[in-house]
Amino acid sequence: MSLILNIDTASENAHVSFAKDGLVINSLSSESQKEHAAFLQSAIQQLIKTTGINLKDLDAIAVTAGPGSYTGLRVGMASAKGLCYALQKPLITLITLEVLTLSALQFFSMQEEALLYCPMIDARRMEVFTALYQKDLSVIKPPCALILDEFSFEKELLKNRILFFGNGSDKWKSICKHPNAFFETAVILPESMSKLSNILFSENKFTELAYSEPIYLKEFQSFTK
């Protein structure tokens, strides 16, 4: 049995939800990436009022740790750690690319066992945060920051049909013409995050508060005119 607060502010769409045993009780979302910090705290309070759930009754708090938006990751991680510390609850950190892949599996009914799944999160210009997974989320290519060119995934596409998705996949679609490459649109679903956080909770896979940090995968770059 688990009652978990799930927090995702890693990308342009943010959401928070209460979930019991991996099933969403209620959720709220925001599509304004610049407003994630303001949205998060008010959304949690609104969920409390709507559901009647007391934060003290939570079993854990889960957050997408990255990769993703630098600001969004810091907002989500700081809020999750602060709540865990105040409430004395365990922290669950999720890899954003895994949650996105699980969401894609819920979006698309692809039955082909040989198909590989490649989430892509926009990292500016021709760079993406990406990884490569099998249907059971077994890792083929670990999360990394990748600058795309016509030779990206050349070896993998020779032997596998690969489904590319996420807000960074349009860049790759514009230069990839390989017949084994397929493209779909997908975003992180509260249901997918809740399912994955419940699995980690059942396996007691918690993150030490003192050592929990966002997964950036690359150095922060600021741009000045």
Each residue's pLDDT tens digit, 120-151: 999 988 999 999 999 999 999 999 999 999 99
Residues of the chain with pLDDT under 70: 33, 109-114, 219-225
**Does a cis peptide bond (omega within 30 degrees of 0) precede residue 90?**
no
Confidence at residue 114, expressed as pLDDT on a 0 to 100 scale: 61
Answer for the pair 67, 96: CB distance below 8 angstroms, yes or no: yes
pLDDT tens by residue, 86-95: 999 999 999 9
Domain boundaries, the chain: 3-95+189-211, 109-183
Same fold: 3-95+189-211 with 109-183: yes
- Order of strands, edge to edge, in the sheet holding 3-8? 23-30, 14-20, 3-8, 60-66, 91-95
pLDDT at site 37: 83
Supply the pLDDT for residue 219. Answer: 62
109-183 fold: Nucleotidyltransferase; domain 5 (3.30.420)
pLDDT at 223: 39
Contact call for residues 108 and 124 (beta carbons, < 8 A): no
Q: Which CATH number fits domain 3-95+189-211: 3.40.50.620, 3.40.50.1000, 3.30.420.40, 3.40.640.10?
A: 3.30.420.40
pTM of the model: 0.91
